[in-house]
């Protein structure tokens, strides 16, 4: 799995990115239905600045050759990120992982929906999974700074991204 060590300055923060989840042209179906998504997801520019190292993890998927279930691709990518993160954990336990997509810890662990809609507190507050966009990162601008150009709309490739922030 490709990884790129990036500088904090390469991470493009924009507070209005969180609002794109509720854009009338594309309203994410998870917006306002998860503790890990806006409007509940915090803006983490200052928190991420506390980390010295930032590892961009990504996977380029040929959409013409891969007709796999998107959920399966997400699970495979998450396993790959965890493999990289577990290697880093040998040196550091101070880590923040930002994932692609919405938090699905409750579903993966219990087969249940997030408690957000019921008004109950998060079942796993120490394991909540925020996406890069949910915390205010402009992923497109960030990856362009490190030489990855995305296709909009995608015609040949889609990408899955994660960002592992850590200190040693």
The answer to whether the beta carbons of residues 33 and 21 sit under 8 Å apart is no
pLDDT digits (tens, 9 = 90+) for 49-74: 999 999 999 998 888 776 666 667 77
- The pLDDT > 70 percentage for the chain reads 96
Residue 61 structural domain: 3-166
Output the pTM of the full model: 0.89
Number of domains in the chain: 1
Q: Which residues pair with 159 in a beta bridge?
A: 60
Cα separation values, 154 from 9, 60, 148, 151, Å: 27, 11, 13, 5
């Amino acid at each position: 799995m490709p990884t790129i060590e990036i500088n904090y300055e390469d991470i493009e923060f924009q507070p209005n990115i969180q609002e794109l989840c509720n854009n009338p042209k594309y309203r994410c179906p998870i917006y306002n239905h998860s503790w890990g998504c806006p409007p509940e997801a915090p803006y983490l520019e200052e928190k991420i600045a506390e980390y010295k190292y930032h590892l961009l993890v990504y996977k380029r998927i040929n959409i013409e050759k891969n007709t796999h279930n998107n959920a399966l691709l997400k699970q495979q990518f998450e396993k790959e990120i965890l493999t990289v993160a577990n290697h880093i954990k040998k040196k550091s336990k101070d880590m923040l992982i930002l994932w692609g997509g919405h938090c699905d810890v409750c579903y993966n662990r219990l087969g249940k929906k997030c408690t957000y809609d019921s008004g109950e507190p998060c079942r796993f507050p120490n394991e909540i999974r925020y996406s890069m966009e949910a915390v205010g990162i402009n992923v497109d601008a960030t990856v362009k700074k490190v030489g990855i150009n995305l296709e909009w709309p995608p015609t040949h490739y889609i990408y899955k991204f994660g960002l592992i922030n850590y200190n040693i």
